Amino acid sequence: MSKVTVNGIELAYEDVGTGHPVVLLHGYPLDRSMWSNQVAALKQTHRVITPDLRGHGESAIAAGAATMQQMASDVAGLLQALDISRATLGGLSMGGYVALAFYRLFQLRVRSLVLVDTRAQEDTEEAKTNRAIQAERALQQGMEFIAESMLPKLLTPESVTKKPELVRQVREMILRTTPQGAAAALQGMAQREDQTLYLSRIIAPTLIIVGQSDSLTPVEDAELMHRQIGGSRLEIIEGAAHLSNMEQPEEFNRVLTTFLHDLEG
């Protein structure tokens, strides 16, 4: 693990392998370790960079909302520090919101996009209210209830009963996140703008991946992005809910490496 100071805060990241750079952004309230299966598979052929977004993992927290633009600017600073001018940018859920924000801000630095279990729509008013309640509760009571309420949505019922090691890994990741980091991300996600109308302006080759049983960012959200982003590819992963890369790593890695291989010709 390495650290770099970007936008006044210390960001933790891993940077392994050589080849075309691929940056993978984790979801909320998780950290870079969620990509361990992808790092292991891709590092043979690519340079893989996995940051902990601000307020998550081993990265620092700053006061106020962690907006998607702020996190995108952190990623841009990290890439600059690593002397990477252009990369494939992938993100799961909140990481996907950050990837879309990054594309809007720094389009020329994106070689291709990988949008995983994510969506382009802004929050409904109900979702915003719910985020405020969750943030308050996390600050008052800690992360345990967030782990308990999110786990059944992140994984399929089958994974929850049959994959205790995966459940443990996800739970520990959530419990490692500080309430302050979670609250800042919740506030930031609630402030995101709708990106639906922007999707048709994306010209980077784009891969969209979604778990067939994802209830947080369902298949319809992925299909909407697929319809709007010209030439995009949509892959639906069976036997997976929201954390498709962790639940079905082999199939996930197959679709990801096929996309990267086709891109690189």
| Residue 201 three-state SS | helix
Closest distance to ligand MLT from the beta carbon of 28 (Å): 4
Q: Pick one of 81, 167, 204, 216: the residue that binds ligand MLT (CB under 6 A).
A: 216
- Spatial contact of 88 and 23, defined as CB atoms under 8 Å apart: yes
Would you give the distance in Å from CA 241 to the centre of its chain?
A: 14
Using rule CB under 6 A, residue 87 touches ligand MLT: no
Residue at 78: amino acid letter: L
Q: Pick one of 93, 159, 177, 195: the residue that binds ligand MLT (CB under 6 A).
A: 93
Closest distance to ligand MLT from the beta carbon of 100 (Å): 12
**Which one, 61 or 216, has the nearer CB to ligand MLT?**
216
Using rule CB under 6 A, residue 27 touches ligand MLT: yes
Closest distance to ligand MLT from the beta carbon of 93 (Å): 3
**Which one, 54 or 242, has the nearer CB to ligand MLT?**
242
What is the rounded CA–CA span in Å between residue 11 and residue 74?
Answer: 8
What is the rounded CA–CA span in Å between residue 157 and residue 70?
Answer: 35
Q: Which of residues 160-189 bind ligand MLT (CB under 6 A)?
A: 189
| Lookup: tokens for 256 | 């990801």
CA dihedral (201, 231, 97, 77) in degrees, to 10, reads -80
Q: Pick one of 94, 146, 208, 222: the residue that binds ligand MLT (CB under 6 A).
A: 94
What is the rounded CA–CA span in Å between residue 253 and residue 256?
Answer: 5
Using rule CB under 6 A, residue 28 touches ligand MLT: yes
- Interacting residue ranges for ligand MLT, rule: CB under 6 A: 27-28, 93-94, 189, 216, 242
